[in-house]
Amino acid sequence: DAGVIQSPRHEVTEMGQEVTLRCKPISGHDYLFWYRQTMMRGLELLIYFNNNVPIDDSGMPEDRFSAKMPNASFSTLKIQPSEPRDSAVYFCASSPQGARRETQYFGPGTRLLVL
């Protein structure tokens, strides 16, 4: 299995621009999570989906952030407009249903820098 795939790995953009981060979860996993990691705040859960349906988006910082999961193999996290304080590493993780449902498998992350 290829694991969780994220793209791009690095993104540099200017304040005000739209940023779209992409994630392909592990095939067969029913849960998908988006996290943000910074030195100051650590690893924060932004939103998670179960069977493509958003379950908890209480971690999404504000309306500039939106996430979609149009099918079981693809999800996007969009920031519009982006701001310098959005600079962070964004991780996508997926998890299977069942007894080991709490085990999360992380992608390599997208390192975002907003200038």
Partner 1 sequence: TQLLEQSPQFLSIQEGENLTVYCNSSSVFSSLQWYRQEPGEGPVLLVTVVTGGEVKKLKRLTFQFGDARKDSSLHITAAQPGDTGLYLCAGAGSGGYNKLIFGAGTRLAVHP
For partner 1, the binding residues (CB under 8 A) are 4, 31, 33, 42-45, 48, 50, 56, 91, 93, 100-109
Min dist CB 58 to partner 1, Å, is 9
CB 96, CB 72: distance < 8 Å: no
Nearer to partner 1, 18 or 56 (CB): 56
Nearer to partner 1, 35 or 82 (CB): 35
Phi, psi of 61 (to 5 degrees): -60, -40
Q: Taking the mean position of all CA atoms in its chain, how far away is CA 42?
A: 15
Cβ burial 70-92 (10 Å sphere, 16+ → b, else e): eebbebebebeebeeebbbbbbb
Min dist CB 39 to partner 1, Å, is 10
Min dist CB 12 to partner 1, Å, is 16
CB 20, CB 11: distance < 8 Å: no
Nearer to partner 1, 7 or 17 (CB): 7
Nearer to partner 1, 75 or 109 (CB): 109
